Amino acid sequence: MHLKSGLQPLVLFASGFWNTAVLSGESLSDNSPFINNTTLDGKLRTVYYDVHNTVKDSTLGAWTGGLSLDLSSSLGDIVGLGASFYSAVKLYMPEENAYSYQLLNGDNEGFSKLGQAYIEVKLPSTYEDRSLSFKAGRQNLRTGLISGSSSRTVPSNWNGYNLKGTIGDLKVGFALVDQMSLRNQAGFHSLMNFSREKIDYIIGAEAIYTLQFSHERELRLKYRNAFAKDFLKAHNGDILFTTYAGENLKINLGGSYYQTQKSGRLWEGKGWGGSPLFDDKASVINLHGGMTAGSWHFRAGVSHFKAPSSEKASSNAYTPPGAYYYDFGANTHGYWDINTSGYAEDMLYDGETTWMMGLTYNFSESWLKGLKAGYSFHYGSGMKVSAPGGHEIAVAEQEHDIHLVYAFPKTVLEGLKFKLKYGLYRNDKALQKAIHKEENDLRVWLDYDFRIF
């Protein structure tokens, strides 16, 4: 259900929920296991996006408010129920902004929705070294390479089935989904390709195994995949070694190999922002590492991408190279955690080698306890733009990112958290002409988490 104003559904939901709760409390005993195992959590969020494209001299974004209410209950250790209500309201949006950058609905107005409504069956908690959970229905879901998103006013949600389990140091998961409600949508919709043809379903699986060694060393092996029927299939593998070299010194080193491939006739059309799709297969190899020394955290990475596309420039336009595509439909989200990607630009073109270096400081030992501040630099080169006339031009791109996170002290405003991200993205002239983009990307969140009961 789409509503022009988000205020009316907020009031109606709050009133209806309160009446239900009162009637339930009057009619059921306090000793009812259903009531005793029921929780209602919430989040109030205000978020501001200001994304300015210096090439087009245009700005996208808005200032919005959001409400999330998450209700869960269980009957003993085995069966559980869950539901979530979300609402987004427009607080301010400049008239010259054509698009809210997925903070609001497609018409740049607020909306409300029942984002989650699921039943869960679990293995009893008496099994100490293993767990198993099966959910069916609308849910927040991150399994394999099937991912949700919580970076806008309200979260995105999937409809389908999700199985998660652990046996000792092994974690496994499997999911099947057939509908999605995006972070700027009120309802649930069929999965679509770029030409608005239906994708029947997506399945995804994962397995994560951690080997523990002496002296607090560990080796984590991770495998994830996803298959969108007749559209795309992908496999991701990652290995990470972590060791401590002293009381306050932690080091991790790892490598990843990701691959995605055409899976049928639905892989056609144009990708993100009208960019060409890779012809058949794309891959990336990534080396990454980090070091934590006291309050400082240093991280670095390098990636090399292959995503060949046969599409060439027309007689009067520039065409960007093919790009690695990690979603599984035009209206879906896919998991992406390559650390060389920036806030404003992913930097994943065919032939591109991308470098990243970043530094974060945690003020936990000062009077600014709760504050984290960081900076990272990203640089990509080696890709080629197809120019009019048939020749190719080598191009490069770079991005400077800063982030601030402040969790307010428990003694002051427990549950309140501030976050800011800013990305300054620049590129060569030929790449500008191909993608029509350079950006100053500012994103700010203020969240308040609370529990009603």
What average pLDDT does this structure show over 356-381? 95
* Full domain range(s) for residue 303: 237-453
Look at residue 7 in the predicted model and tell me its pLDDT. Answer: 40
What average pLDDT does this structure show over 198-219? 95
Q: Which of 13-27, 113-127, 426-440 has the lowest mean pLDDT?
A: 13-27
Q: What are phi and psi of 413, to 5 degrees?
A: -135, 75
55 & 114 share domain: yes
246 & 139 share domain: no
296 & 439 share domain: yes
The answer on pLDDT for 234 being more than 60 is: yes
Residue 351 belongs to domain with CATH number: 2.40.160.10
- Each residue of 61-115: pLDDT tens digit? 999 999 999 999 988 889 999 999 999 999 999 999 999 999 999 899 999 999 9
Spatial contact of 151 and 49, defined as CB atoms under 8 Å apart: no
What is the distance in angstroms between the CA of the first residue and the CA of the last residue of the chain? 28
Residues β-bridged to residue 230: none
174 & 32 share domain: yes
Q: Is residue 263 part of a domain?
A: yes
183 & 242 share domain: no
Q: Is residue 227 part of a domain?
A: no
Count of structural domains within the chain: 2
- Each residue of 144-164: pLDDT tens digit? 999 999 999 999 999 999 999
148 & 249 share domain: no
26 & 98 share domain: yes
Q: Is residue 213 part of a domain?
A: no
Q: Is residue 222 part of a domain?
A: no
* CA 424 vs CA 47, 97, 379: distances in Å: 19, 19, 12
257 & 153 share domain: no
Distance of alpha carbon 282 from alpha carbon 218, whole angstroms: 31
Q: Which of 26-35, 53-62, 174-183, 373-382 has the lowest mean pLDDT?
A: 26-35
SS3 category, 272: helix
Distance of alpha carbon 269 from alpha carbon 274, whole angstroms: 9
Q: Is residue 205 part of a domain?
A: no
Q: Is residue 229 part of a domain?
A: no
242 & 169 share domain: no
Look at residue 75 in the predicted model and tell me its pLDDT. Answer: 84
Distance of alpha carbon 400 from alpha carbon 387, whole angstroms: 27
Give the pTM. 0.89
Strand 111-122 relative to strand 39-53, pairing: unpaired
